Chains A and B, each alone.
Chain A
Amino acid sequence: MSYLAGIYEVVVIGGGHAGIEAALAAARLGHRTLMITTNLDSVGNMPCNPSIGGTAKGQLVREIDALGGEMGRAADACGIQFRMLNRGKGPAVHSPRAQADRAAYKQYMKEVLEHCENLSIRQGEAAEILTQEGKVSGVLCVGGALYETRALVVCTGTFLNSRIFIGEQNILSGPDGLAAATHLTESLEKLGLRTRRFKTGTPARVDARSIDFSALEVQRGDELPRPFSFDFQGQLYNDSLCYLTYTNSHTHEIIRKSLDRSPLYGGEIQGVGPRYCPSIEDKIVRFSTKERHQVFIEPCGKNSGEMYLQGLSTSLPEDVQLAFLRTVPGLEKVEIMRPGYAIEYDCLDPTQLTAGLGVRGVPGLYAAGQICGTSGYEEAAGQGLIAGVNAARFLEGREEVVLARSDGYIGTLIDDIVTKGTNEPYRMMTSRSEYRLLLRQDNADARLMPLGHAIGLVSQQRLDKMQQDYDQAAQEIRRLEKTAVSGPALARVLEERGSAPVGQGILLSDLLRRPEISYDCLAPLDPGRPFLSEKVREQVEIQTKYQGYIQRELRQVEEHKKLEEKRLPEDLDYLSMSTLRLEARQKLDALRPRSLGQASRISGVSPSDMAALMILLGQRGK
């Protein structure tokens, strides 16, 4: 029997990384918000790797933080080992990552949610999305609770009809033994949405006491750990250790012999798995000549006895898992605490979404996270933030916020999935962005904090503080461009650095453009330099050194901007545009791109289709 359990402005289904950001954003923007989750002890759970950030993902976290999201602060508070990846490979690919304490992270997030004004959290399983005249009107839960709402954000992660596979065994279950959500897919399909089945997997967690660490290579955090969040003050906990070991021919032999017992190769799993995240059995089949595979052993928490085995994701039977693990150096006597598994789940074809993550054709309905065909906590959180903001703006009758590809990795990610779709769980990678030298982790604040402020998630004070740093950097760059140095002191520095000597005076900025010269090493030549924080010095150095490349990318952004800013009317009748090829007409009709720029990225829309479309639009405007 259903009963009216509450009236909210925004309801968020799901308490994972997407749901958290969506709910916080909507509530912080002043809207009465409800988060429904199947298990209140599992908000912010990390069912896979116990870490936040990583290549391209670290950039995402920095962007979420700049926009006023929570993930960066949580990672700083619950991180137990911090590293900047790809140091020495150039600023475009520097990415922060932290091992996180899973339990602490969940606790932190639950507290933030519980203390957030305008936000309520309830345990329950959403069963049906209610609509009136095609618009969202509420959500009905399995127990009969009915919540009225005009805006709904679906962040169901991997829980929809999820099925877990371990060898011959497969059960209806969400990750980490949590219950699957078995009703909502049907409701989504009733609304006319196309769903599909994706798959992912995770390795075993093992007992730390059963590992022989003496045999393993240790990996520590950075000496000078950097926080994710602009707001962080104080000291990061950075003492936890990770370990490195390798598989060998015995491991591979055992796996190879047991392939017939793998649900992946036996054909039980129908879902599409990610290429970038293959299970160990996948790796051994696909890269059969590789003699060993790397395994990182990572702690699941500061005081946790569970260790995560990065690199050994598997859905082989438990006995096989144990047998092959015990061939790995350091794991000879290992005890499994939770076996690895593959998980299959329902998700949406993301091309049914707008660039603001609204579901086309159902006003008030939004989706974010793995239900949109992505994978990863950070990808989910970035989408959650945008979907939450846009649900709020929907209520306010305002236009949705859309991040351009040139604004950040979040914009790139959303544009990719809603424009091109994805045939496998989508993971963010630096190679997916064409503006890598602009979209750096170090300048995320400058790129996105003004937008966060305009949206209403970033305070004026925070914005001003950020702006101060960048103003200082700009001023210092100008000073370097005007200050020339010469003489024996210069010659000494150049010689020390193995840099080519200069005949006469040279501008400090020109010196700094030399790859072998750092800002700090110019200090002896530059008595007039102001005192600057490390953050500002870093900006001065990167912006000066990579100026040529940065400017070129800025020019490319400008060039594309014109097309990105040419909005396409929503009511365009593409199907009747006889000068476009049929495929292009159908694709445009289905995807309803927001701008000419987005239209040009749809596969199946050729340059001549674009030209014809532009001609038609030109005429329409008259």
Chain B
Amino acid sequence: MMEDTIAAYSGGTLPGAIGICRISGPQAFALADDLFFPQKGGKMSQGPFYTMRYGQVWAADGRALDLCLACCYPGPSSYTGEDLLEIFCHGSQAVVACILERAMELGARPAQAGEFTKRAFLAGKLDLTGVEAVADLIESQSAAAAKNAASLLQGGISRPIRQMREKIFQQLTHFYAVCDYPDEDLDPFVSEEARKVLEECTAELDKLYQGFQRGRVLKEGLPVTILGRPNVGKSSLLNSLAGYERAIVTDEAGTTRDVVTESVRCGDTVLRLSDTAGLRETSSQAEKMGIDKARESARESRLVLCVFDGSAPLTEEDKQVMETAQGLERAAILNKWDKGALDFPEVEQAFSKVFRLSAKTGEGVSELCQWLAGLSQGEGETLVTSARQAALLGKAAESCRMAAESAAMGFTADAFLADGEEAVRLLDEVLGDAVSEDIVHGIFSRFCVGK
């Protein structure tokens, strides 16, 4: 019997000195070869085994995610009794999240709470570990996972997921109500309607999944866009922030020459800072495109930093900047504080958070940095599980797609709804619902049935 391959973070609290990513199952070594590239010697799957090897973890595009240690343990002589890969990476949430996400791209499935232990037990391997320690760890992991699920899903992501879950679930209960009570006067179940619902959900889940990918704080860090009219000191702010703490990833050109992005670390948090073209009225076609890009970048960011020249009165273009940032999560930066501080009642009124600093001298930058670090603390905590949840969401979309396709082919609902049920189960896992309503209960609460 082929088990699937599972992956999860198996170390202590992050951030820490070292993080452990564990991948177990028949595909673990094949996956190791696509994930971890030893600096010396052959591929991971070729051995030597039970030996720490030094090398790089690669992302899909060949970018190095981390330079660290990994070890292959061939089954049955491993913790789980299966082929097992452990990657001992740097203990950063971003790094761990990237590695897990890559493992899932390569076909691993997020491990459920206690699943490594379950496999170890079934393989008769469990005397190796101290009981208390493992049980405690699992307890804390599942608690953390639940907390993460909740925190990640704030901010409007959980609502559409819950709605979709509900829509599919309604089709399930409807079908089984009609089947279990064929003599009741219930509205007939229409496969065609179920197909439509499933198709809608597929499309929406795809969109969410992709959005999840985009908006996620994995490789990129928290996306932050710097906006402002020309010459207010946007670039110097970027450089100042980048220089304040070591940039963990080297400079990288944006997709257009007009948006420059750099990953910057503030405390434990990674920011993906985008410096944009200055916003102004222009007749130049190229510059117009740059400005459009800046606006788009702002819309896709979690936070917009609006930079103003603190030594000069507001201009029309400054007001345009404020307008562009309207409705977005934002903070105001009154730069060039060293050159003289004016009062900006309009800015104070429009922004709940205003920083006065000098990008040039570095004065006040540490306060901004501290605020940024604190601001994204919550985001940081969700990093580890977000890869797991994104994977689940992707799988749910796939189940919906299969169900819709089978329905379109004319399969009977008892068959295609099996995939619908799988989708509901996956969405429940994404939502972190401890107890989800089962179909039987759903039937009784929705339909009038009896003898």
Contact = CB atoms under 8 A, between A and B. Distances in A.
Interface of A: 48-49, 54-56, 85-86, 88-93, 95, 203, 246, 275-280, 282-283, 286-287, 290, 292-294, 296, 310-311, 313, 429-432, 436-437, 514-516, 546, 549, 552-553, 555, 558-559, 562-563, 566, 579, 606-608, 610-612, 614-619, 621-622
Contacts of A85: 179, 182
Nearest to B411: A515
Nearest to A613: B121
B183 A310 contact: yes
B286 interface: no
B118 A89 contact: no
Contact of A90 (B122, B136, B415): B415
A552 B189 CA distance: 25
B124 interface: yes
Interface in B396-415: 409-415
A429 B448 contact: no
B428 to A, nearest CB: 14
A290 B451 contact: no
B450 A607 contact: no
Q: Which 10 A/B pairs are nearest by Cβ-Cβ distance? A: A618-B126, A90-B412, A611-B114, A90-B414, A515-B410, A614-B121, A92-B414, A431-B176, A294-B185, A612-B135
B415 A608 contact: no
A430 B179 CA distance: 8
A610 B448 CA distance: 38
B252 interface: no
B3 to A, nearest CB: 7
B118 to A, nearest CB: 6
Contacts of B43: none
B49 interface: no
17 contacts: A56-B180, A279-B450, A292-B185, A294-B184, A313-B450, A431-B443, A432-B440, A436-B418, A514-B410, A515-B411, A559-B3, A606-B142, A607-B138, A611-B138, A614-B126, A618-B126, A621-B124
B385 to A, nearest CB: 15
Contacts of B134: 611-612, 615
Given A294-B185, A549-B415, A612-B135, A287 B118 contact: no
A338 B342 CA distance: 94
B198 to A, nearest CB: 16
A214 B138 CA distance: 69
Interface string B89-127: 000000000000000000000001111011011101111
Interface in B144-194: 173, 175-176, 178-185, 189
Nearest to A606: B142
Contact of B450 (A56, A283, A430, A437): A283
Given A89-B413, A436-B414, A276 B444 contact: yes
A514 B410 CA distance: 8
B117 A93 contact: no
A579 B180 CA distance: 42
B117 to A, nearest CB: 4
Contacts of A622: 127
Interface string B415-451: 1001000000000000000000011100110001111
Contact of A91 (B182, B414, B451): B414
Contacts of B139: 608
B418 A437 contact: yes
A430 B176 contact: yes
B113 A607 contact: yes
B132 interface: yes
A561 to B, nearest CB: 8
A515 B184 CA distance: 27
B359 to A, nearest CB: 49
Contacts of B450: 276-280, 282-283, 311, 313
Given A85-B179, A610-B114, A615-B135, 6 more contacts: A276-B449, A431-B176, A549-B418, A608-B142, A611-B117, A611-B135
Contacts of B448: 278, 283, 286-287, 290, 293
Contacts of A279: 450
Contacts of A616: 131
Contacts of B189: 89
Interface in B208-225: none
Q: Which of A203, A292, A610 has the most CB of B within 10 A?
A: A610
A89 B410 CA distance: 11
Nearest to B122: A562
Interface string B226-240: 000000000000000
B451 A618 contact: no
B129 interface: yes
A296 B183 contact: yes
B144 to A, nearest CB: 12
Given A55-B181, A579-B135, A611-B135, A516 B113 contact: no
Contacts of A516: 410
Contacts of A515: 409-412
A621 B120 CA distance: 13
A267 to B, nearest CB: 21
A615 B410 contact: no
B185 to A, nearest CB: 4
A562 B123 CA distance: 10
A619 B449 contact: no
A553 B135 CA distance: 31
Given A89-B413, A607-B112, A610-B114, A579 B131 contact: yes
Contacts of B135: 579, 608, 611-612, 615
A546 B415 contact: yes
Contacts of B183: 294, 296, 310-311
Contacts of A296: 183
Contacts of A429: 176, 180, 440, 443
Contacts of A430: 176, 179-180
B123 to A, nearest CB: 10
Q: Which of B127, B181, B412 has the most CB of A within 10 A?
A: B412
Contact of A514 (B409, B413, B418, B449): B409
A546 B409 CA distance: 13
A614 B132 CA distance: 12
Given A293-B448, A311-B451, A615 B412 contact: no
A608 B126 contact: no
B26 to A, nearest CB: 13
Contacts of B121: 566, 614-615, 617-618
A130 B102 CA distance: 66
Contacts of B414: 89-93, 436-437
A549 to B, nearest CB: 5
A610 B411 contact: no
A481 to B, nearest CB: 20
Contact of A559 (B1, B179, B409): B1
Contacts of A283: 448, 450
B126 A90 contact: no
A558 B413 contact: no
Contacts of A93: 179, 414
Nearest to B136: A579
Nearest to A546: B415
Interface in B281-313: none
A512 to B, nearest CB: 13
Contacts of A562: 122
A56 B122 CA distance: 33
Given A275-B444, A612-B135, A90 B413 contact: yes
Q: Which of B175, B180, B450 has the most CB of A within 10 A?
A: B450
A54 to B, nearest CB: 8
A275 B71 CA distance: 56
A546 B406 CA distance: 11
